[in-house]
Amino acid sequence: MLARIGVKSVDDLFAAIPKDARDPKLGIGPGMSEMEVQAHLESLARMDRDASSGPFFIGGPIQRRYIPAALPVLALRGEFLTAYTPYQPEVSQGTLQAVFEYQSLMAELLAMDVVNSSMYDGASATAEAALMAVRLTGRKRVVVAEGVDFTFRRTLKTYARGAELDIVEVPAGELAQHAGGAACLMVQHPDAFGTLVDVRRIADAAHAAGALCVQVTEPHACALLEPPGALGADIVVGEGQPLGIPMSYGGPHLGIFACREAFVRQMPGRIAGQTVDADGTRGFVNTLQTREQHIRREKATSNICTNEALAAIHAAIYLALLGPEGLRSAARAGVSRAHALAKRLGALRGCRIANDGPFFDRFTVRSEIGGWDLRLALLDRGIQVEATASHYVEGERRGRDDVIVQCTELTSESDADALVDAVAEITGSRQAVAAR
């Protein structure tokens, strides 16, 4: 095989990898037993801080939400856990029905015509939405709001290289001005900093210029805010992890993807549908599959090969257990706690809320000492927040150096007290007690 491909040794296949990265030192001594290795690794793991080790205010696409106890009992049943792609509908009715229920629930939540049976995550769904808009319009320029989550924007840029797309990033308020010649205007609402955005105005500008409007959204926000379909969005994407999927490093996650029925033939992924058999009995099938392994081949809309069906089933069960009122209640709790906390933090000397307008359940705090230094100081006190300067390079160049505070139904009063007291101590404010 080496001779056939024209290399002398297996080592030549790894020439692109730097030499110092090919044989990394793991910090494990020679001759350690299995028990010793396990104890060593556990000691390393104890150095990490997880979301339950103290006040936790990190959020965005991945959020710490309450997961009903019944959810894993149902979603991790063997029938769901071991099932693979439902190619044969006659033996896959349970999985197909569960996926169909997920699609139906999400379509209702988003007020959109069609939802696929999920993408890898919110970032890949965002990139696929841009590619879909390019196919539909024949244009190759994608205009993205700077308020779209940084992981989504970075993934979009990676996808854009091979497709040779022109990615333009502008403030959300300037999107409408760049609609001419664009395949789509892409906006996040609420944005990565929690600020509410006027999507309808952006959608109107996109449609007037022959472009599409792609909205990045969050499922809990759709429970209280006007849904994307009512705002004029043509394609809707987002991260579904907050819908009952545990936080974990790197996933598995759930990419939400919805569109209007007129565009369904260019939608990536697959769609499960409901039908009847020859005897009139209700059944479920794979209605649309646009993958390259099937008959679409070079006309395929995506090379994503595996949908996150188990994660989608988690989301479906979560939505079914909570129901509309339960989902609204969870969302409302995060909003009310965020606004109460923002009022207290904004009253501290040297601090102010830096959002450009009304916010949802996430907000930014600007302090005199800077966001990065504030984040590190809070981390020393066991409080976890995110600093915009650590990720939003574009924002940092514009002088934006804040911390982002996310609240959910799991944010307690004691967590809020700890954050306010810590910020007051770090910034030297003496108004903490009075602000309570």
Residue type, 230: A
CATH 3.90.1150.10 positions along the chain are: 325-435
CATH class of segment(s) 70-318? alpha beta
DSSP 8-state secondary structure symbol assigned to residue 56: B
Q: For 263-302, write each residue's pLDDT tens digit.
A: 999 999 889 999 999 999 999 998 988 765 666 667 778 7
Q: Which of 218, 211, 262 is nearest to 236 (CA)?
A: 218
Asked if pLDDT for residue 181 goes beyond 50, the answer is yes
User: Residue-wise over 175-209: b if at least 16 C-beta within 10 A, else e?
Assistant: bbebbeebbbbbbbbbbbbbbbbbbeebbbbbeeb
Q: Specify the pLDDT at position 85.
A: 76
**What percentage of residues in the chain have a pLDDT greater than 70?**
93
d(CA 307, CA 323): 25
Report pLDDT for 434: 45
Helix, strand, or coil (residue 256) = strand
Residue 102 has pLDDT above 70, yes or no: yes
Helix (H) or strand (E) run with residue 2 in it: helix 2-5
What pLDDT sits at residue 343?
A: 97
**Domain span(s) for CATH 3.40.640.10 in the chain:** 70-318
Q: Does the pTM exceed 0.75?
A: yes
Long-range CB contact pairs, 302-305, < 8 A, 24+ = 302/128, 302/131, 302/268, 302/269, 304/119, 304/120, 304/124, 304/128, 304/268, 304/269
Q: What is the mean pLDDT of residues 197-224?
A: 98
Q: What is the pLDDT of residues 46-62, one digit of tens each?
A: 888 888 889 999 999 99
Q: How far apart are CA 255 and CA 28, in angstroms?
A: 38
> How many degrees, rounded to 5, is the angle at CA 380 between CA 330 and CA 353?
50
User: Quick one: 325-435 is in which CATH superfamily?
Assistant: Aspartate Aminotransferase, domain 1 (3.90.1150.10)
Average pLDDT over residues 316-324: 97
